[in-house]
Amino acid sequence: MSMLGAMLEAKEPLSREQIARRMGENANKVTLYRTLHSLVEAGIVHTALIRNRVQLYEPSAHCSEHLCHPHFVCRGCHKTICLTEITPPTVDLPDGFRLERQQLQMEGLCSTCTMAEHETQSI
């Protein structure tokens, strides 16, 4: 499987290690790093967010150069969910500031974990 294919199939941001696992045992880590860097430089892939000091990457299709779609990180199952249907708010910066990239990350429980927590409390 190709790197981009692995990322598109996942439908969520992935770390370099997760991409390598999805590509299979033959994935050369040096080649993977260089290819990922090239895809980021070309604007095809971007760093979605950093979680626990690990960069997570995803295709740039749902984002513009300066504005990335929101992400929701579940504190229960630890999944990162892309919220491409939500438009993040725009911010007016003070004079002299230059926006380079805006990211919005929300944390809480996803619908599956919320239901599981509710069922546990009902028992």
pLDDT tens per residue across span 4-40: 888 888 878 898 888 988 888 777 888 888 989 999 8
Local confidence band at 61 (pLDDT 50, 70, 90 cut-offs):
confident
Return d(Cα 7, Cα 11) in angstroms, integer: 7
What is residue 1's predicted lDDT score, i.e. its pLDDT? 65
Both tokens of 12, joined, read 């969520």
Does the structure show a pLDDT above 90 at 95?
A: yes
How far apart CA 44 and CA 40 sit, in angstroms, is: 6
User: In sequence order, which residues have a C-beta less than 8 Å from that of residue 123 and are 6 or more positions away?
Assistant: none
The predicted pLDDT at position 123 comes to 65
What pTM does this model have?
A: 0.72
3-122 is a CATH 3.40.50.300 domain: no
